[in-house]
Every structure is written in C-alpha cells, then in structure tokens.
Structure 1
Amino acid sequence: MDLTQLKSFVAVAHYGHLTQAAESLHLSQPAVTAQIKAIERNLDVNLFERNTQGMKLTPAGEAFLPKAESILQQMRELDVFALSLSSTYVEQAKLGIIQSVDRQMLSRLLNRILELDSSLYLHVENSLSGEVLNKVRKKELDAGFFLGDNPYRTVYSIELDEVHYVLIVAVQRLAEAIEDPRTFFRTATWIERPAFSAGDKISNRFWHQHKLSPQTALVCDDIDLCIELVASNLAITLIPSREAYRAIKAGKNIALVPGYDMRSRLSYIYPAEYETDKNSHLIRRAVCETWGVAY
C-alpha cells in the first residue's frame, strides 16, 4: 500500500464518486479504480459498494477512513516541515474572500493574523462564493469565506454570521412597489448576479420564494455599480443591508422595499486535510476571535 492509493481511497470516500475523485487528483478514472482495487486486494476486504449515486463506504471502509486521513495529514505536516528546513522558505497561506464579507471585519482579521505570526506571508484573493468553495475543495486556496450550505465532506466550515440582503429600488418607485407589488415585480427589470456568486444563489431563492420570473437587464457583481444603476431607476436588485444603509446615508437615490428581506449563512471554510496544520490552526483562531465565535 502506498500514498497514492491512500489518496485515491480518501478522495473517493469524500466525493462518493469516481469521476469527481479522479478530477480532484488529476488522474484518470481507470487509474483511481485500479488504486482502490489494489488497496482492497492488499487488505482482503471490500472498502466500497457501488450504488446508483456512486460509491458508498462499507463498514470496513468507514473504519479505515479516519486512519487513512490521519496518515495523509501527517505526511502533509512532514512535507511542510521538510520545506521549512530551507533557508529561503517563507510560510504562506492563500485566503479567498468574497464581496459579502464586511471589509472592516476583514481588516481586523488580517491584523490579528499578523499579530499572531508576523512572518506569515498572506495571499488574499477576491472571488465569487462558489469559486472559493471549489478552490478550497481542490486545495488551490488554504481557506476562505463562503455564503450558503457547504455540501462537501472534504471541506470543514465554521459558521460566523448571517448576511442580511434587502431589495432596493429608486426612491420614486417605492410607493409603487408597496401598493401594487404584483404589477411592480412583473414589470421591473432585475440586475442579475454572476453564476457561482452568493448574490446569484440569494436571487434565485428570492425569485422561487416569491414565484417571480424576473426580466434581466444585465449581470453585475459590483455592488457600488448596482447601487448606481438602481439609483438611476434602471433596475432593482438585492444587496447586503449594510451596503444599502451605507448608500442611503451617502445620499443615494435608493430605498428599501419592506417585507422582501433574505438571509444567508456566512461561513469560514478550509480543507478537512488541513485540520491539524499549524497555519490553518492559527488563521482559524484569528477568524473565531474576530467574529466572536467559539473556537
């Protein structure tokens, strides 16, 4: 039994599907199948059973999984330690952020991380919520922020807060939206959000909940531009409440339509494989301290 076989086993166990596991490992599906069969021959036990959804762990596979995960975590720690022996080694971490996270909170977080370890070299990457999840899942990012429900066993999450979304319109259309909402929503033009963004998921849930079929004028993920477009009476959209209140305070020609609020869970996410990693541990501590949640 070798590490490649263990990685294949853990990937299939986490994804429950050969194709997705092979993609995450950058291997062909037949290669992953061969690795699984080799482990099963070596152990003389079936680790998976096939079903219509994919691959499901047998009781033996469930018992074997924590041991395999522990070995891979130890190997990763050994790799990091070996790298640290070089005189040119610099510890670094890649963090994915999304537009829905308050920038003041992010600033406090980064300051806290560097207080805990000033030598850590941080890469901060702005992206869409779904893209952050996929990059963390593939370990292209060491951690990040995500809005919604995390569907992956390979990704651990810490719930931080709820993001409150509100529906904004131009001030001159507020009375219309309140007095005749059926006509208003049938004729109003929506600003849509890009696929994989938090705003897209929120909007789709909003439309489904209110049984709406929106007319879309454009796709935009820049909140400041969305506010300007709404203020010019071109369209309506959903944005985080703090951004709406900030814009109203700044004198923008927008108003909130009461009764159409939406909420979504904000989480900090990281690969399950990094659970015992020193830097991952440090950043999780800083995140929990910044948001005031249990660590």
Structure 2
Amino acid sequence: MELYHLKTFVKVADEGNLSRAAELLFTSQPAISAHIKALEEELGINLFQRTPKGMRLTPSGELLYQKAAGILNSADELKSEAQSLRQELVGDLKIGVHTDFEFVRIAPLLQNFARKHPKVRVHFLAGMSATNIPDVRKGNIDGGFFFGPAKSADLTTIELATIPIRVVAPATWQDRVEHASPEALCALPWIYTSQNCPFYDLHSQIFSDYQCTPNQVAFVDSEDAIRELVKAESGLALLREEDAKQMEQQGLGYCWAGEVPSIALSFAVQKRRRSEPLINAIIEEICSLWGVENESTNEMMIDSA
C-alpha cells in the first residue's frame, strides 16, 4: 500500500468525481481509477459505489476514509518535523489568489519569499473568494486570499486590510448619479456578482433600509468583466475604491459619493497546519508585506456542512 493510493482515495471521496480528483492531483483519470482499483484489490473490499452522479463511498469506504485521512495527516506532520530538523525549507506551496495579483502584492511576496527560501516553489493559482475557502479546507491549496468573513472552525484566518468600496457608474451617467438617492440608484441598471461572492452581500447592505430592489441586468464573477461592462455603459457596479477612482481619473467612470460598506481582505490556512514550517513561512512573509502581526484572528464557527 502506497501513500499516493491513500491520497487518491481521500481526494476521490472528497470530490465524489474521478475527473475533478485527477485535476486536483495533477494526474489523469485512468491513473486515478488504477489507484482506486489497486487499493480495493489490496484491501479486499469495495471502497466506492459507482453511480451516474459520481463516486459514493460504500459503508466500508466510509469507515476507512477517516483512517486514511489520519494516516495522511500523520505523514504531513512527519514531513513537517523533518523540515524543522533540516532548518531549510524545501517543497511546494499552492496559494489561491482571488483578485488581481498586483492588488494582493504577489510580485513582492514572491521576491521576498524566494530570497529567504530558494528551495520552495510557490504556485499562485487564480480563483475566487467562494472557491479559495473550500479549496483550503479540502487541502487542494495550502492557503488562499479572500474577501469577506471565513466562517469555518477548521481555518485560521489573518485579516490583512480593510478595503474601501465605491459605487462606480459609467462616466456619461454623472448627471444621473451625482445627486441620486439610494432609491434612484436602485432603479438604474446594475452589474452584480454571483450570490456566492462577498460583494453580493454589500449590495444588500447598501439598500437594506430602503424599500427597493436593484435593477440587476447582469451577473459576473470577474473584476475585469465588471470594469468592462461599466465602461460599456451597461450599468453601475461595486469596485474597490482604488479601481473606481482610477476609472474616474481615466474618464471611464464616475464614483457615487454615498456611503458603501468596506470589506475585509484576509488570508486563510487549515488550522491544523498552521504550525507547519512552510505554512508559517508564507504567513510570516504575507504579514510582513501587509504590516500586520503574525497571529491567528477572526476564527469563527459554523456547522460542518
């Protein structure tokens, strides 16, 4: 029995899908199937039930899943201890980035980290707040940036900054927006994010005291798409203040003067891995870059669903 067999077993159980597990393990679906088959033959039991909707653990598989996950956790702890004894960090880190790299300071982060830890390879993977948090929890990435709160008992989160947000309209709409009340803004076309994006809740906060529903004309998950649609005069939208002001300075947008709630920028890792040398090293560098103390904050609980 090999550790990679157990890693495949746990990943397929977590994802319920061979293709998705193969993608996350950077291998092929036939290789994943071969690992599962080899493990089932060695153990002499069926671990999964193949269904039209994907892979479902059998009762025996459910019992062995926790054992396999525990073995993998112990292996991670062993590697962590070995790294501490070597006093030199070696390995790979996968970091989820939810917005543009310049804003979260990826270039200086990599430069500073690589200078101190030249034998660590860092993978910066584009994602969203809504995907980075579950990917950290599942172990698909080692850490992730995100906007908004992280409501999970198994995470350690570090708040890096409070980000001001503005309502931005097409530049040609200044006369319609400049002195507009919240009710009047509501009636204009709006570019929204999807409901699983933290910015979606900001819209609700803006209009919570008014008896109106924003005129939602489009839903997007990309800040680039929001900027393009505002420039194209498709509607108003919420953007980070620095983005909104830049559009205004370029003559591409107009910032409404009314109050808009701010949003937290944070970084998350699995709580059980917080003390691993590689994890601690990247957190130290991120905290230094953002001028915050290297300590866990904002650990909040929800149900395990």
Evaluate the alpha carbon distance shift between residue 28 and residue 82 of structure 1 in structure 2; reply closer, same or farther with a 3 A threshold: farther
Evaluate the alpha carbon distance shift between residue 143 and residue 176 of structure 1 in structure 2; reply closer, same or farther with a 3 A threshold: same
- 1: CA distance, partners of 2:135 / 2:277: 20
Evaluate the alpha carbon distance shift between residue 229 and residue 34 of structure 1 in structure 2; reply closer, same or farther with a 3 A threshold: closer
Evaluate the alpha carbon distance shift between residue 231 and residue 216 of structure 1 in structure 2; reply closer, same or farther with a 3 A threshold: same
Q: Residue type of the partner of 2:267?
A: Y
Q: Residue type of the partner of 2:217?
A: A
- 2: CA distance, partners of 1:264 / 1:183: 23
Q: Deviations over 1:132-186 (max 9, x none)?
A: 0010011111001121111111110111101111001123333333434255224
Q: Residue type of the partner of 2:274?
A: E
Evaluate the alpha carbon distance shift between residue 278 and residue 221 of structure 1 in structure 2; reply closer, same or farther with a 3 A threshold: same
Q: State the partner residue of 1:176.
A: 176
- 2: CA distance, partners of 1:273 / 1:160: 21
Q: Report the secondary structure of 1:208's partner residue.
A: coil
Q: Residue type of the partner of 1:260?
A: E
Q: State the partner residue of 1:253.
A: 252
Q: Residue type of the partner of 1:266?
A: L
Q: State the partner residue of 1:54.
A: none
Checking the alignment, whether the CA contact within 8 Å between 2:160 and 2:267 is kept in structure 1 is yes
- 1: CA distance, partners of 2:198 / 2:135: 15
Evaluate the alpha carbon distance shift between residue 234 and residue 216 of structure 1 in structure 2; reply closer, same or farther with a 3 A threshold: same
Evaluate the alpha carbon distance shift between residue 258 and residue 31 of structure 1 in structure 2; reply closer, same or farther with a 3 A threshold: farther
Q: State the partner residue of 1:93.
A: 93
Q: Deviations over 1:99-142 (max 9, x none)?
A: 16743622211212112211111111111101100100111110
Q: State the partner residue of 1:226.
A: 226
Checking the alignment, whether the CA contact within 8 Å between 1:143 and 1:271 is kept in structure 2 is yes
Q: Residue type of the partner of 2:91?
A: E
Q: Report the secondary structure of 1:141's partner residue.
A: coil
Superposition deviation, residue 202 in structure 1: 2.8
- 1: CA distance, partners of 2:95 / 2:15: 20
Superposition deviation, residue 285 in structure 1: 0.8
Q: State the partner residue of 1:12.
A: none
Q: State the partner residue of 1:145.
A: 145
Q: 1:138-287 alignment to 2 at 5 Å?
A: 138-181=138-181, 184-208=184-208, 210-249=210-249, 251-287=250-286
User: What is the CA RMSD across the aligned residues, in angstroms?
Assistant: 3.4
- 1: CA distance, partners of 2:251 / 2:225: 12
- 1: CA distance, partners of 2:210 / 2:160: 27
Evaluate the alpha carbon distance shift between residue 73 and residue 192 of structure 1 in structure 2; reply closer, same or farther with a 3 A threshold: same
Q: Deviations over 1:265-290 (max 9, x none)?
A: 11110011211211101101101110
Superposition deviation, residue 221 in structure 1: 2.9
Q: Report the secondary structure of 2:262's partner residue.
A: strand
Deviates more, 1:98-107 or 1:160-169: 98-107
- 1: CA distance, partners of 2:76 / 2:242: 40
Q: Residue type of the partner of 2:139?
A: K
Evaluate the alpha carbon distance shift between residue 156 and residue 209 of structure 1 in structure 2; reply closer, same or farther with a 3 A threshold: farther
- 1: CA distance, partners of 2:159 / 2:215: 34
- 2: CA distance, partners of 1:238 / 1:156: 28
Q: State the partner residue of 1:124.
A: 124
- 1: CA distance, partners of 2:180 / 2:214: 16
Evaluate the alpha carbon distance shift between residue 270 and residue 175 of structure 1 in structure 2; reply closer, same or farther with a 3 A threshold: same
Evaluate the alpha carbon distance shift between residue 232 and residue 286 of structure 1 in structure 2; reply closer, same or farther with a 3 A threshold: same
Establish whether residue 115 from structure 1 lines up as the match of residue 85 from structure 2.
no
Checking the alignment, whether the CA contact within 8 Å between 2:101 and 2:107 is kept in structure 1 is no
TM-score, scaled to structure 2: 0.67
Q: State the partner residue of 2:37.
A: none
Superposition deviation, residue 205 in structure 1: 3.5
Q: Residue type of the partner of 2:254?
A: A
- 2: CA distance, partners of 1:159 / 1:149: 9
Evaluate the alpha carbon distance shift between residue 247 and residue 122 of structure 1 in structure 2; reply closer, same or farther with a 3 A threshold: same
Evaluate the alpha carbon distance shift between residue 74 and residue 252 of structure 1 in structure 2; reply closer, same or farther with a 3 A threshold: same
Evaluate the alpha carbon distance shift between residue 103 and residue 80 of structure 1 in structure 2; reply closer, same or farther with a 3 A threshold: same
Q: State the partner residue of 2:29.
A: none
Superposition deviation, residue 29 in structure 1: 9.1
- 1: CA distance, partners of 2:208 / 2:59: 41
